[in-house]
């Protein structure tokens, strides 16, 4: 079976808020705002990593309050976690879906939060490994020193450990050993990272740059997630809802489908084949689905939209009111906040004074066959030849065929300077 790894941040990603705030900080009768302010001050005064400052303070505060703190005590606090919708049912459902596709899923936590608390949660057994900040303990089970402190930059190290099949935090010899990409345990293209905030940016950016999938999730406000996709640091943004048919569920399943297709058909050959044929296919449904999936992956999108308020992870075809002899077919192409170029889209028997945008579907993966287009221009600095070919295929580009040259809209708009 081909392997897929899904790595999750914990706080704000699978569970609401910081795990320490659910019961540990309240038990010490501390104001959470004042506690985190003290962490920041301690870090600044001592030029200290904030994770180490936090780990020092939680033990100091507990001792000052006369509260017992052991490894088992910390695990108990994990039982009070409040998950986002659908989390507890999500793992079994995704594993089942993957198994049916012949894909083997491995789940990991990569978190700055407290490992012992995460180990006390009801979902701890769902993960192959939990990489999180943890303590070294004495013979009485009391924390005496930080064993592992994971911050925003060190999170990337654990993606490499997963990639190379190293399931511990101490083996630095193996992590630095050169291993050819095709011999690694789980290739980056088959890895997914899900996180919620700025501390996840290096990990999400790394995975996206390696051809993997990064998902920024949000609870109520999407400003940070939207900013990440605008900056091209993540592939997708989604509400932190793990329910069946929710955005995260659909994204994960689409990646599983893509991995399965890559395994069966070979992504490089398929992309090459796709680039040779831009017009609507007259081939099997299965072949067309495969090509669509590969083209969307190549463009780092999950489809197109013709309205700005639709799904944020789709290429936006923004209407232009340019008038070609009363035909209005022009669109600007935007992807993840970046301008790519312009395209003219029309349909059979198009009437004058009616914009194609009023007829075209609000969201689609590939233009229906009755629509066709000609890409007018694309940014050479931002669009590769393969991506251009993918756009041509998905938008039914007719620049290299005469099939629709008898259509008036083609003569007066799409090819008015070419025929």
Same-domain pairing of 223 and 97: yes
288: in domain = no
- Domain edge (last residue) among 191, 225, 258: 258
Do residue 237 and residue 311 come from a single domain?
Answer: no
Supply the range of the domain harboring residue 310: 301-414
Q: Does 74 share its domain with 138?
A: yes
Report the distance separating Cα 330 and Cα 355, nearest Å: 8
pLDDT digits (tens, 9 = 90+) for 121-144: 999 999 999 999 999 999 988 898
Q: Judge whether 265 lies within some domain.
A: no
Mark whether 125 and 215 lie in a shared domain: yes
Q: Are residues 183 and 309 in the same domain?
A: no
Residues 118 and 247 in one domain: yes
Give yes or no: residues 334 and 254 share one domain: no
Instruction: With respect to residue 76, please indicate whether it lies within any of the assigned structural domains.
Output: yes
Kindly state whether residues 251 and 357 are assigned to the same domain. no
Determine, yes or no, domain membership for 276: no
pLDDT of residue 18: 82
Kindly state whether residue 278 falls inside one of the protein's structural domains. Answer: no
CATH assignment of the domain containing 97 = 3.40.50.1000
pTM over 0.75: no
pLDDT < 50 positions in the chain: 268-286
How many domains would you assign to the chain?
2
Shared domain for 98 and 9, answered yes or no, is: yes
Asked if 320 and 406 sit in the same domain, the reply is yes
pLDDT tens digit sequence for 201-247: 899 989 988 889 999 999 877 777 777 777 778 888 889 999 998 98
Q: Are residues 160 and 55 part of one domain?
A: yes
Q: How far apart are CA 246 and CA 239, in angstroms?
A: 9
The residue out of 203, 232, 258 marking a domain boundary is 258
272 lies in a domain?
Answer: no
> Has residue 200 been placed in a domain?
yes
Decide which of 223, 239, 258 is a domain's last residue: 258
- 113 in any annotated domain: yes
Q: Are residues 59 and 161 in the same domain?
A: yes
């Amino acid at each position: 079976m081909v392997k897929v790894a899904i790595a999750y941040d914990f706080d704000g990603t699978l569970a609401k808020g910081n795990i320490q705030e659910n019961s540990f900080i309240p038990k010490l009768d501390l104001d959470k705002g004042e506690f985190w302010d003290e962490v920041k001050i301690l870090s600044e005064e001592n030029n200290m990593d904030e994770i180490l400052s936090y780990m020092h303070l939680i033990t100091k505060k507990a001792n000052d309050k006369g509260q017992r703190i052991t490894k088992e005590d910390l695990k108990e606090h994990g039982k009070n976690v409040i998950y986002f919708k659908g989390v507890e049912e999500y793992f079994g459902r995704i594993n089942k879906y993957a198994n049916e596709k012949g894909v083997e899923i491995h789940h990991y936590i990569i978190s700055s939060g407290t490992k012992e608390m995460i180990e006390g949660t009801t979902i701890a057994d769902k993960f192959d490994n939990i990489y999180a900040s943890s303590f070294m303990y004495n013979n009485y089970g009391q924390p005496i020193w930080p064993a592992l402190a994971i911050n925003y930059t060190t999170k990337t190290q654990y993606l490499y450990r997963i990639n190379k099949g190293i399931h511990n935090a101490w083996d630095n010899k193996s992590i630095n050993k050169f291993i050819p990409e095709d011999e690694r345990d789980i290739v980056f293209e088959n890895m997914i990272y899900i996180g919620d905030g700025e501390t996840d940016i290096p990990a999400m950016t790394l995975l996206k740059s390696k051809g993997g999938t990064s998902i920024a999730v949000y609870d109520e406000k999407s400003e940070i997630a939207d900013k990440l996709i605008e900056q091209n640091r993540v592939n997708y943004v989604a509400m932190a809802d793990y329910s069946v048919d929710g955005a995260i569920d659909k994204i994960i399943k689409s990646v599983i489908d893509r991995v399965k297709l890559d395994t069966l058909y070979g992504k490089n050959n398929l992309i090459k084949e796709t680039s040779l044929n831009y017009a609507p296919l007259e081939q099997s449904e299965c072949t067309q689905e495969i090509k669509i999936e590969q083209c969307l992956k190549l463009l780092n999108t999950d489809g197109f939209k013709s309205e700005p308020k639709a799904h944020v992870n789709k290429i936006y075809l923004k209407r232009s009111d340019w008038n070609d002899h009363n035909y209005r077919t022009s669109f600007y192409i935007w992807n993840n906040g970046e301008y790519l170029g312009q395209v003219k889209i029309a349909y059979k028997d198009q009437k004058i004074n009616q914009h194609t945008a009023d007829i075209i579907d609000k969201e689609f993966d590939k233009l229906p066959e009755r629509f066709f287009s000609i890409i007018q221009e694309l940014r050479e600095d931002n669009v590769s030849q393969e991506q251009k070919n993918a756009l041509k295929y998905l938008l039914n580009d007719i620049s290299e065929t005469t099939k629709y040259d008898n259509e008036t809209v083609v003569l007066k708009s799409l090819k008015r300077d070419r025929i």
